[in-house]
Amino acid sequence: MKTTGLGYLFKRGKNGSKVKDSELGIYYLQYTVNGSKKFMSLKTGNKVIAQKRRKKTLLPALFVDTSEKVILHIAEARKLLNNVKINLNDVWLKYENSTKRPQSSTGTLGNYKRMWKCFKEWLNAEHPHITTVNQITDKEAEEYSVFLWTKKIAENTYNYHLQACNLVLKIVTGSLQTAFTGLSRKNGESINRLDFSPEQIKLIFATLDSKDFKIMNKPEMKLLCYIGTFTGLRLHDAVMLKTDSVDLKKNLISLTPAKTRNISRQVHIPIHPELRRQFNNMDKGDYVLPSISERYLRNPTGVKLDFMTILDEAGLTDFKKPSKGRSRRLYGFHSFRHSFCSIAANAGVPMSTLAGILGDNSRTLEKYYLKVNDKAKLDCINSLPSLIKLANPGVIDVEVSSEVEVLARRIQDACKFIIDNKMNANFKNQLLALLQS
């Protein structure tokens, strides 16, 4: 680590913390432009190469006229911009059509598009002179991150915005790093939906059975809740479930969830007897829920709000306020999915089987869904067989002894050994006197 007229050279490990030159890591360069600190990766763990790249990057910058030219020179030297002069208005189409972008669900792709649009509109308002990708530098990325944070969005939403912009620019420019790569992320808690208990599920159906409770398409809403309870499908997939996906002869529901459509991952869900009884009365149209599915295509928010009305009537109105951002409901339609997983896990269903039903990988199930209850954990411990056979079984007495107690016990054992063994009487007495003194 050295500080010279060419900036401050230091090394970071995989976890981002500074390390010694002798340790594994990547060299970074800290430099100052108009009193503002800038950082850049030199993309090497070799000190000699790092020093050469530092000189190649910063020496020409010492002779340019303005701070803007300095910033632009640094960015181009880092190959962040890669001389890609794509118009900002064409960036999203290029990203969407790229064969190198990750396969994303329709919802995720829509989020990326919305977040890129937000950044582009901010650029147009704050830096109208920037019209192409190669003009975006660390300065604009950092300013935008400050703008996002002042909007009082949650930490995870903030991180998601930066991740989306970083990914779009990486794919479009073909660079490993962009102006967003070096920005630090915020640490925030993730608020996940709670699972419904069996008693709460009964309360939901009791609400739907009440004659006093009024809601649009009530019979279909009740069937929707049956589908959520006994399949674990997400709201979109449950609402848009087609009749030809339900095979009553094979007693199987087969479909490709919207979230895994791009990777063609199907799910096959056996039909629970309670759900089968409901399916016996369904119409023969294209969709199991014809009225709700048609409405969902026009106004998905309206369907979601109707389900929230059911939860409100059932008294399931718990909210949680994060450290930053808006409060979030702890119960929603997705709670059926959580319940499905928890109940199946507590019943001893293997995770591989559950993954095949839900279409999630085991890591996702482990992280978000499986909440094995205390009774299941106790049953697991009690199920362990007796592996140790003792001739004289009993409680193992483990004492905590001081050093003095240990020494006294050893002396007592030594005296007993001397007394019990045959040896010269005079010598025996001398040893005992020595140990007992």
Rounded Cα distance, 282 and 389, in Å: 61
Phi and psi dihedrals of 86, rounded to 5?
A: -80, 135
Rounded Cα distance, 341 and 337, in Å: 6
358-393: pLDDT as tens digits: 887 766 676 655 566 666 666 666 666 655 555 555
C-alpha separations of 330 from 311, 312, 395, 437 in Å: 11, 12, 46, 73
Rounded Cα distance, 179 and 170, in Å: 10
Rounded Cα distance, 137 and 133, in Å: 9
Do 182 and 41 form a contact (C-beta atoms < 8 A)? yes
3-class DSSP state of 153: coil
Q: Which residue has the tokens 């001389």?
A: 83
Report which listed range, 24-28, 286-290, 359-363, is most confident.
286-290
Rounded Cα distance, 84 and 351, in Å: 46
Give the containing element (helix H, strand E) for 242: none
Looking at residue 1, its pLDDT comes to: 42
- pLDDT, mean over the chain: 79
Say if residue 80's pLDDT is above 50. no
Please spell the DSSP secondary structure of 162-214, one letter per residue: HHHHHHHHHHHHT-S--TTTTPPPPP----PPPPPPHHHHHHHHHHHH-TT--
Beta bridge partners of 39: 30
Say if residue 37's pLDDT is above 50. yes
Residue 128 tokens read as 């109208």
